[in-house]
Amino acid sequence: MNKLIIICLAVVIGLSSCNRNVGAIFGSKKDKLDVVDPEFDYMTAKAKFRYDDGKKGFSATANFRIKKDSLIWLSISPALGIELARVLINTENVFVIDKLNKHYYEYSFDDLSKQYDMDFNFQMIQSVILGNLVEPYRKQRIERMDDYFTYTASKGVYLYQNFIGATSMKLEKVHVFDEGSGNTISVNYSDFILVNNQIFPNEISAVIEYEAKNKPKTEVDISYNKMVIEDGPISFPFSVPSKYEKK
């Protein structure tokens, strides 16, 4: 697959006029698990991200627009500010416009799941971007480990080990183990901020490690520098020029 498409997916596997660090507003450590997920209808965000798969590295800026549980839109630009790609994700498909090579791609989540041997779906991508639990708590056994509540959830061949901060009540770490391939994904969320009284991670760092000894790990870092919960509906501009070739 075109390297640009892999980078676009990495960004999404990889925001208010009054952002402030919430470290000082968290209360004391809790003795009961009560995970807090942000509530909103529409959001816009701007972030810097870095991608490195051991063979090629890439840094850029991404602008996000989100309609919760429905649409994710992003525009990706390198350092010079010229738009490189535009992505639209709905609950069934991923659409990518490659402006550099004048190509257009369309993938179903079933296609992506088979190609990458991973269960891609809209809720998973949205959860990663927002720092929510990918596999929610459903009365699994909870253990208290230092400053975290931790529990393990399973879905198919995937085991999710979740670490929820005892003070923040937010997902701070998640480790995903693929029992089929032996591959692992680790995601850390940090530097939480308050946006319209909703809590979001400002920093996201993900590492994919492969069982195959000759395959280097993949690293993705996302750092938000602006988040806005919008008062009303926003647009999601996405049109494919007639001269672009579908791949």
Task: Determine the average pLDDT of the residues in 88-94.
Answer: 95
Give me the long-range contacts of 65-71 (CB less than 8 A, separation at least 24).
65/234, 65/235, 65/236, 66/42, 66/126, 66/129, 67/41, 67/42, 67/233, 67/234, 67/236, 68/40, 68/41, 68/42, 68/43, 68/126, 69/122, 69/123, 69/126, 71/236
pLDDT recorded at residue 178: 86
DSSP 8-class letter at 29: P
Stated as kind and residue range, the H or E segment containing 177 is strand 171-178
Examine the pLDDT at 15 and tell me if it is beyond 60. Answer: no
CA triple 91-19-150, angle to 5 deg: 60
Residue 243 lies in a domain: no
Residue 242 lies in a domain: no
Residue 61 lies in a domain: yes
Task: Determine the average pLDDT of the residues in 100-121.
Answer: 84
CA triple 179-137-28, angle to 5 deg: 120
Share of residues in the chain with pLDDT > 90 (%): 31
Residue 245 lies in a domain: no
Residue 181 lies in a domain: yes
Task: Determine the average pLDDT of the residues in 79-98.
Answer: 89
Write out the residue range of the structural domain in which residue 81 sits: 3-233
What is d(CA 45, CA 224) in angstroms, rounded to the nearest whole number?
7
CA triple 134-78-208, angle to 5 deg: 35
Residue 125 lies in a domain: yes
What is d(CA 177, CA 152) in angstroms, rounded to the nearest whole number?
11
Task: Determine the average pLDDT of the residues in 107-134.
Answer: 83
- Cβ atoms of 102 and 121 within 8 Å: the answer is no
Task: Determine the average pLDDT of the residues in 38-46.
Answer: 93
* Strand, helix or coil for residue 115: helix
Which amino acid type is present at position 11? V
Residue 247 lies in a domain: no
* Phi, psi (rounded to 5 degrees) for 12: -90, -10
* DSSP bridge pairs for 219: 52, 207
pLDDT recorded at residue 12: 54
pLDDT in tens, 190-209: 988 888 888 888 899 988 88
Examine the pLDDT at 79 and tell me if it is beyond 70. Answer: no
Which single residue is written with the structure tokens 């090579």?
A: 101
What is d(CA 107, CA 56) in angstroms, rounded to the nearest whole number?
23
pLDDT in tens, 146-191: 888 888 988 888 888 999 888 888 899 999 888 888 888 899 999 8
Total domains, the chain? 1
Residue 158 lies in a domain: yes
Q: Is 45 exposed, middle or buried (0-12, 13-18, 19+ CB in 10 A)?
A: buried
**Which CATH number fits the domain that encloses residue 101?**
2.50.20.10
pLDDT recorded at residue 229: 94
Most distant CA atoms of the chain, gap in Å: 59
| Band (3; pLDDT cuts 50, 70, 90) | low
What is d(CA 5, CA 150) in angstroms, rounded to the nearest whole number?
34
Task: Determine the average pLDDT of the residues in 83-105.
Answer: 93
pLDDT recorded at residue 65: 96
DSSP letters, 71-109, are: EEEEEEE-TT----EEEEE-SSEEEEEETTTTEEEEEEH
Measured between alpha carbons, how far apart are the two ends of the chain, in Å? 10
Examine the pLDDT at 127 and tell me if it is beyond 50. Answer: yes
Task: Determine the average pLDDT of the residues in 223-230.
Answer: 91
Please, what is the average pLDDT of the chain?
Answer: 83
Task: Determine the average pLDDT of the residues in 43-55.
Answer: 88
